[in-house]
């Protein structure tokens, strides 16, 4: 239970960072140049929402004060993973949250 | 333009010098601090004679009680270290807890075990805040470095002009540009962690670093301050002195049958939660005034709950004293210390701290390397100075990593019954570091980096094999974790070594790409 929650919280904070990243002109051009430009404006609010979702999820894992610490740590590390994936594996950078969401039920079984 | 340097320029100089001079120390402090996140696990790995019997605390405490009743019947106090998730060993001692020699016993059979002496994971913990110097000197030096870290963080924020624009920017294989990107990104993305860990690190020793208030209000009597902060502590100590301190006068006390100790595990778990107890002690065991204290793990709350205990009457099981809530001023300090020690939140939190700590160490190292990369391009006049910085960088970064792995290898390869074994392990640690220092001085910089990174990588990658060959049993959960972590870190260092070895071609490529890169920047 805890592992799958953690997996979801990580996926959601990574997706949030990814959305914030897509919100910038430079990275929109790099990753989503083919998509309609009108979508870009939605990236930032979506990113903030996803980060809040990650906070809600970490509140399920830890008591409130610890959740805040864990949440900040997860955001930082997910941002760093994204940063490292961007130049080397941009496709994986886009698909990683999906992988996380698919993995979460696997942990639930185990 | 005035001739006075601008704010950015002076901040840049401050950042460079605070970062460079104390960066060598800071890397050592951060790396050993990161390893200390798993200090108990490392100690367990370093004593392969011990085995995880996977018994629960209630049955372990019965085994301990039997052993103590058989071997230490007349002791003034019994102390039992309970097996926990991070350290499944069962230890017993008699008399005053601090002074008594701990005896390890098998949690199943109750037989005494004598594991090898080792510096253990706690070596990294002590090195982290004393740098293996005399305690107070070390704490002051580390505190000074931590202040420099705060200065470097704040001046770094000021001189980094495009924090938000470059938030997710990393451009590899572009020499100085890549180093700057990496340094910036790891600093900015983990800024909350860097600030938190540095600031809370300073707060832990607030009485040592900022004694003025204690001097003014309590005439320098630190105990007086502590008494006022924790009124119960004095009471507690008094009580302990009265009951446990002078066994000779209390010999006459009538003996009485105690409740089985596992009863108090149940009571303690009801208060602190299942699996949250760390130790149990009995004052005046087997006497009418026998008293049991149950202590929690430092992990049920954010606050660092060191020294807290529940006290029971050992004959009737009646609760004598529950820990009082902490006063707000002390609570703030304890929460700060708790944030630094990361004893809360279980393994997920521990891993977050470990990875964040690794990134912090890498951030500091990248700053050190960035200095040389930048200067190398600027002028040849600084050749001698630059050469000194280059080999010191290597000795402090590559050398320390090598020394840390060497300590683990020494732990397993030195004969288990060697006299003063702990000292020999440390001799290997510092010897490897010294060898790395000489090596760094003698070799050309890139060659030196390649060789030291590769050496650390090979030793780390070989860690699981070493464990399999030298351990007496199949690796348990904890040892396997250490082995696999070593494997992962070894792979990272091997990747770094490979990058260094292919670097000349990379520069050529970067040079070829330079016009394109310029165009990209201008667009």
Q: Which residue has the higher pLDDT, A18 or B273?
A: A18
Contact of B353 with chain A, judged by CB distance below 8 Å, is answered with yes
The whole-angstrom separation of Cα B208 and Cα B140 is 8
pLDDT (tens digit per residue) in B420-434? 999 999 999 999 999
* Residue B520 pLDDT class (50, 70, 90 cuts): very low
Q: Closest approach of chain B CAs to the CA of A80, in angstroms?
A: 7
pLDDT (tens digit per residue) in B351-397? 999 999 999 999 999 999 999 998 887 766 567 888 999 999 999 99
Residue B517: what pLDDT?
42
CB A19 within 8 A of CB A75: no
Minimum Cα–Cα distance from A6: chain B residue: B348
The whole-angstrom separation of Cα B354 and Cα A77 is 11
Average the pLDDT over B202-230 and give the result: 80
**Is pLDDT of B146 > 70?**
yes
Average the pLDDT over B253-264 and give the result: 88
Residue B233: what pLDDT?
54
Residue B161: what pLDDT?
79
**Is pLDDT of B407 > 70?**
yes
The whole-angstrom separation of Cα A56 and Cα B343 is 22
* Residue B152 pLDDT class (50, 70, 90 cuts): very high
SS3 B452: helix
The whole-angstrom separation of Cα B264 and Cα B294 is 7
Candidates B168, B177, B185: best to mutate against A (most CBs of A within 10 A) is B168
Residue A2: what pLDDT?
82
CB B298 within 8 A of CB B343: yes
Residue B255: what pLDDT?
85
Average the pLDDT over B29-41 and give the result: 96
Q: What is the mean pLDDT of chain B?
A: 86
The whole-angstrom separation of Cα B342 and Cα B338 is 6
Edge-first strand listing for the sheet containing B77-81: B112-113, B103-105, B90-94, B77-81, B277-283, B291-296, B310-313, B319-321
Q: Which residue has the higher pLDDT, B322 or B439?
A: B439
Q: How many CB atoms lie within 10 A of CB B161?
A: 8
Burial class of residue B275 (count of CB atoms within 10 Å of its CB; 0-12, 13-18, 19+): middle
Contact of A86 with chain B, judged by CB distance below 8 Å, is answered with yes
* Residue B249 pLDDT class (50, 70, 90 cuts): very low
Contact of A62 with chain B, judged by CB distance below 8 Å, is answered with yes
Average the pLDDT over A6-23 and give the result: 94
The whole-angstrom separation of Cα B480 and Cα B48 is 12
| Best CA proximity match to B203, nearest among B153, B297, B139, B151 | B139
Token match 């930082």: residue? Answer: A76
Whether B168 sits inside 8 A of A79 (CB atoms) is yes
Query: Using DSSP, how many helices (H) and how many strands (E) does chain B show?
Result: 20, 8
Counting residues of chain B whose pLDDT is more than 70, the rounded percentage is 89
In chain A, which residues have their Cβ closer than 8 Å to the Cβ of B169?
26, 83
Residues ≥6 apart with Cβ < 8 Å to B487: B460, B461, B463, B464
* Secondary structure (H, E, C), B179-224: HHHHHHHHHHHCHHHHHHHHHHHHHHCHHHHCCHHHHHHHCCCHHH
Distances (CA, A) of A86 to A22, A28, B206, B363: 11, 12, 42, 19
Residue B100: what pLDDT?
60
| Best CA proximity match to B365, nearest among B186, B488, B202, B188 | B186
Q: Closest approach of chain B CAs to the CA of A38, in angstroms?
A: 21
Residue B506: what pLDDT?
46
Contact of B189 with chain A, judged by CB distance below 8 Å, is answered with yes
Average the pLDDT over B330-350 and give the result: 88
Q: Which residue has the higher pLDDT, A106 or B133?
A: B133
Q: Which residue has the higher pLDDT, A15 or B329?
A: A15
pLDDT (tens digit per residue) in B78-131? 999 999 989 999 999 988 755 567 889 999 899 999 999 999 999 999 999 999
Phi-psi region of B219 (alpha: psi -120 to 50; beta: other; left: phi over 0): left
Residue A98: what pLDDT?
85
Q: Closest approach of chain A CAs to the CA of B221, in angstroms?
A: 34
Give the distance from CA B387 to its chain's centroid.
32
Domain ranges for chain B: 7-45+122-189+342-522, 51-117+231-325
pLDDT (tens digit per residue) in B2-23? 567 888 999 999 999 999 989 9
Token match 């100085």: residue? Answer: B176
| Best CA proximity match to B302, nearest among A67, A3, A72 | A67
Residue A79: what pLDDT?
95
**Is pLDDT of B516 > 50?**
no
Residue B53: what pLDDT?
87
Strand duo B319-321 + B77-81: pairing: unpaired
> Across the A/B interface, how many CB contacts are shorter than 8 Å?
72
Token match 């990369």: residue? Answer: B373
The whole-angstrom separation of Cα B288 and Cα B285 is 9
Q: How many CB atoms lie within 10 A of CB B384?
A: 7
pLDDT (tens digit per residue) in A55-86? 999 999 998 889 999 999 999 999 999 999 99
Average the pLDDT over B256-263 and give the result: 90
The whole-angstrom separation of Cα B319 and Cα B509 is 74
* Residue B509 pLDDT class (50, 70, 90 cuts): very low
Nearest to B192 among A63, A72, A86 (CB): A72
The whole-angstrom separation of Cα B164 and Cα A14 is 17
* Residue B515 pLDDT class (50, 70, 90 cuts): very low
CB A7 within 8 A of CB A109: no
Contact of A27 with chain B, judged by CB distance below 8 Å, is answered with yes
Average the pLDDT over B191-199 and give the result: 95
Q: How many CB atoms lie within 10 A of CB B344?
A: 24
| Best CA proximity match to B208, nearest among B135, B281, B280 | B135
Residues B485, B459, B363, CA angle at the centre, nearest 5°?
Answer: 60
For the ranges A33-42, A78-87, B319-328, B356-365, which has the lowest average pLDDT? B319-328
Contact of A110 with chain B, judged by CB distance below 8 Å, is answered with no
Average the pLDDT over B445-462 and give the result: 96
Distances (CA, A) of B397 to B196, B352, B387, B493: 23, 22, 15, 12
The whole-angstrom separation of Cα B229 and Cα B298 is 20
């Amino acid at each position: 239970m805890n592992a799958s929650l953690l997996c979801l919280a990580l996926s959601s904070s990574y997706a949030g960072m990814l959305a914030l990243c897509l919100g910038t002109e430079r990275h929109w051009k790099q990753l989503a140049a083919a998509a309609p430009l009108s979508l870009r404006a939605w990236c930032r609010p979506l990113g903030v929402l996803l980060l809040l979702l990650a906070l809600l999820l970490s509140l399920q894992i830890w008591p409130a004060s610890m959740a805040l610490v864990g949440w900040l740590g997860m955001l930082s590390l997910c941002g760093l993973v994204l940063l490292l994936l961007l130049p080397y594996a941009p496709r994986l950078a886009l698909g990683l949250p999906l992988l996380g969401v698919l993995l979460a039920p696997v942990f639930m079984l185990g | 333009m005035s001739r006075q340097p601008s704010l950015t320029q002076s901040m840049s100089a401050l950042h460079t010098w605070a970062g460079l001079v104390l960066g060598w120390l800071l890397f050592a402090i951060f790396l050993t601090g990161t390893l200390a996140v798993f200090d108990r696990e490392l100690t367990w790995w370093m004593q392969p004679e011990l085995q995880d019997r996977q018994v629960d605390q209630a049955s372990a405490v019965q085994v301990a009680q039997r052993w103590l009743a058989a071997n230490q019947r007349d002791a003034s106090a019994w102390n039992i270290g309970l097996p926990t998730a991070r350290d499944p060993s069962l230890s017993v001692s008699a008399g005053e807890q601090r002074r008594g020699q701990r005896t390890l016993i098998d949690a199943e059979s109750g037989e005494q075990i004598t594991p090898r002496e080792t510096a253990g994971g706690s070596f990294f913990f002590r090195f982290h805040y004393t740098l293996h110097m005399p305690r107070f000197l070390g704490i002051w030096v580390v505190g000074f470095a931590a202040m420099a870290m705060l200065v470097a963080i704040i001046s770094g924020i000021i001189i980094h002009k495009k924090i938000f624009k470059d938030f997710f920017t990393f451009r590899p294989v572009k020499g100085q540009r890549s180093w700057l990107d990496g340094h910036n990104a790891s600093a900015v993305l983990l800024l909350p962690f860097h600030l938190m860990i540095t600031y809370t690190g300073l707060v832990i020793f607030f009485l040592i670093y900022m004694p003025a208030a204690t001097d003014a209000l309590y005439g320098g009597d630190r105990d007086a301050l502590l008494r006022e902060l924790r009124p119960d502590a004095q009471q507690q100590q008094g009580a302990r002195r009265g009951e446990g301190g002078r066994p000779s006068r209390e010999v006459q006390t009538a003996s009485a049958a105690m409740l089985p100790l596992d009863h108090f595990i149940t009571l303690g778990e009801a208060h602190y939660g299942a699996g949250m107890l760390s130790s149990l002690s009995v004052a005046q065991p087997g006497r009418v005034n026998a008293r049991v204290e149950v202590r929690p793990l430092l992990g049920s709350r954010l606050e660092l709950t060191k020294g807290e205990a529940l006290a029971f009457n050992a004959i009737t099981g009646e609760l004598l004293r529950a820990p009082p809530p902490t006063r707000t001023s002390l609570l703030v300090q304890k929460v700060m210390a708790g944030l630094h020690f990361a004893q809360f939140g279980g393994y997920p939190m521990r891993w977050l701290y470990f990875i964040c700590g690794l990134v912090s160490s890498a951030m500091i190292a990248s700053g050190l390397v960035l200095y040389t990369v930048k200067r190398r391009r600027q002028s040849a006049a600084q050749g001698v100075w630059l050469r000194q910085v280059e080999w010191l960088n290597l000795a402090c970064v590559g050398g320390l990593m090598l020394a840390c792995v060497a300590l683990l290898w020494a732990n397993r390869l030195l004969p288990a019954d060697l006299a003063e074994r702990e000292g020999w392990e440390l001799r290997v640690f510092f010897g490897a570091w010294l060898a790395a220092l000489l090596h760094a001085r003698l070799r050309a910089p890139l060659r030196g980096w390649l060789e030291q990174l590769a050496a650390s990588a090979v030793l780390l990658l070989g860690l699981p094999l070493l464990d399999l060959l030298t351990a007496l049993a199949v690796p348990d959960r904890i040892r396997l974790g250490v082995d696999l972590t070593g494997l992962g870190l070894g792979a990272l260092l091997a990747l770094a070594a490979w990058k260094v070895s292919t670097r000349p071609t990379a520069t050529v490529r970067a040079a070829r790409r330079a016009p394109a890169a310029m165009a990209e920047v201008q667009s």
